[in-house]
Amino acid sequence: MADATPQSTFRGLPLTPEQDAEVRHYIKKRKQHGEPWDTPELDAMLRDMLEPPSDDDAELDAAVDEAMAATERATAFVDETMDPIEAEEERHAAIEAEAMRGPRR
């Protein structure tokens, strides 16, 4: 397969060879079924291909890491010789106390 360049890709867009092939496949399938191919779906597909991915995962990872750290700190307050129910209550209380303090910086 030839390299995809802006001159050879769909509408001259800076697509990778895989993206260009996906767009052309979509158009071919729509034409085979006698359906219009220049659709909002195609526009959305192209927008997804051209926009860089958001950094939502990094924010989520930071929140998960902070929650895990708070749980670990709370677990440190629980005495292993405690009754299991009492230990669970103490752990939840410690987690709530950690949550009220806010994220560590």
Q: Quickly tell me which residue has 């994220």 as its tokens.
A: 103
pLDDT of residue 1: 43
Are 78 and 91 contacting, i.e. CB atoms less than 8 angstroms apart?
Answer: yes
Region of 34 (left: φ > 0; alpha: ψ -120 to 50; beta: rest) is left
* 48-102 tens-digit pLDDT: 888 866 666 666 677 777 777 777 776 666 666 667 788 778 777 877 877 777 6
pTM score of the predicted model: 0.45
Bigger pLDDT: 10 vs 44: 44
